[in-house]
Amino acid sequence: MSSPGAITGFGPAFAQGPSSAMSPAEVEFHLNVLKPGTYTLKAWIMDQGAVGAGLPTSTAPLARSAELSVQLTVDRAEEPYVRVEQTLTGPSGVQERNRYLALELTDKADRGDTDWSGTVVDYIAIEKEGITVADVTGRTISPTSIIRWEQQDDRIVGRLKTTSPFAGRTEQTEWSIDIQLRFAEGGTYEVTTWAADGSSREIVSDISSITIEVETPEPEPEPEPEPDPEPGPEDPNSTEETLLRPLFGPIELQTSASDGIEAATRD
């Protein structure tokens, strides 16, 4: 039974004994409001006869109390979501090449008052100019699983773990991932992690980041040039042109005198 702009119904009935002029009574009920907006909830007591008479109003002759009213404001239902609080820790200082380094990733999931029930996927990325998938070996522990890298320009990206925090009877809203990384090349690496909704692929956490410094081997020194050999003692038997000595002195050319011509001597 309803009037314009209102819906009316009868609630639970209760009886009052004939020997009591007044006795307390309590009733509890639940409402599931499907459409957002502002509502006025009214309640009053009526005689049982009002059910048959069809007069569920507080001003009807069979009303036995004044009405009480309260305002209800219903917000639009919140879309299901999940939010992950993430922490990444790792080693400090300069690290050795070709040796596994331990990192730990900790997640804490919250879905608020919604009924979100999907999966959370944790990812890791490593950035360095010129990096390739062959430069880093990665794995997760307990259980052991190899991280498979995907090349994205000057970074490599891998998937760590998929978790269903709100599936099953027991919620698993907190978990940790043990990560091991081994670097083949020296340099400075930026390691970042994040969590994403397994269905929409949207990032549902902040970006966690640490910097790892890996030793760079010192370049081998270039060999020093060998000095030029010192000149040895002069060899008297050398045939070098500069060492040739004249074997003959000046040659005299003589001409015999004849008929009044004097002999001439030429040097």
169-198 tens-digit pLDDT: 889 999 999 999 999 999 999 999 999 999
pTM here is: 0.61
Residues 100 and 201 in one domain: yes
Q: Are residues 15 and 126 in the same domain?
A: no
* 132/176 same-domain check: yes
pLDDT of residue 25: 74
d(CA 101, CA 85): 24
Residue 208 and residue 106 share a domain: yes
| Cβ pair 178, 161 in contact under 8 A | no
Q: What is the CATH number of the domain that holds 140?
A: 2.60.40.680
Give alpha helix (H) positions in the chain. 49-53
**In this model, does residue 213 exceed pLDDT 80?**
yes
**Looking at 49, 77, 105, which one is the last position of a domain?**
77
Q: What is the pLDDT of residues 225-242, one digit of tens each?
A: 777 777 766 666 655 555
Exposure on the CB side of residue 221, measured as CA atoms within 13 A: 3
3-state SS class at 107: strand
The number of beta carbons lying within 10 Å of the beta carbon of residue 131 is: 22
Q: What average pLDDT does range 120-133 have in this prediction? A: 98
pLDDT at 11: 75
Asked if residue 249 is part of any domain, the answer here is no
- For residues 96 and 204, membership in a common domain is answered with yes
Predicted confidence at residue 243, as pLDDT, reads: 46
Share of the chain above pLDDT 70, in %: 81
User: Higher confidence at residue 158 or residue 13?
Assistant: 158
Q: Which of 103-107, 139-143, 246-250 has the highest mean pLDDT?
A: 103-107
Q: How far apart are CA 193 and CA 76, in angstroms?
A: 34
Which distant-in-sequence residues (6+ apart) come within 8 Å of 266 by Cβ? 252, 253
Are 176 and 107 contacting, i.e. CB atoms less than 8 angstroms apart?
Answer: yes
The pLDDT value recorded for residue 240 is 55
Query: Is residue 244 one of the residues assigned to a domain?
Result: no
Residues 40 and 153 in one domain: no
Q: How far is CA 264 from the centre of its chain?
A: 112
Does residue 49 contact residue 76 with C-beta atoms inside 8 Å?
no
90 plus 187 within the same structural domain: yes
Domain that holds residue 24: 1-77
Instruction: Grade residue 110 by pLDDT with cuts at 50, 70 and 90.
Output: very high
Residue 229 lies in a domain: no
- Is 222 within a domain? no
Same domain, 49 and 96: no
Say which residue, 165 or 250, is predicted with more confidence. 165
Last residue of a domain, one of 77, 109, 134: 77
Alpha carbons 207 and 108: distance in angstroms, whole number: 14
261 has pLDDT over 50:
no
Average pLDDT over the chain reads 84
User: Which segment of 12-26, 68-82, 246-260 scores lowest on mean pLDDT?
Assistant: 246-260
Both 205 and 95 in one domain: the answer is yes
174 in the same domain as 133: yes
State what percent of residues in the chain have pLDDT above 90: 50
Clarify whether residues 68 and 186 are in a common domain.
no
Q: How far, in Å, CA of 104 to CA of 88, rounded?
A: 6
Q: What is the 3-state secondary structure (H, E, C) of 130-161?
A: CCCCCCEEEEEECCCEECCCEEECCEEEEEEE
Domains of the chain: total: 2
User: Domain boundary residue among 77, 101, 126?
Assistant: 77
Distances (CA, A) of 133 to 41, 49, 151, 224: 65, 83, 6, 38
Same domain assignment for residues 58 and 101: no
Note the pLDDT tens digit of each residue in 6-35.
887 777 777 766 666 667 778 788 888 888
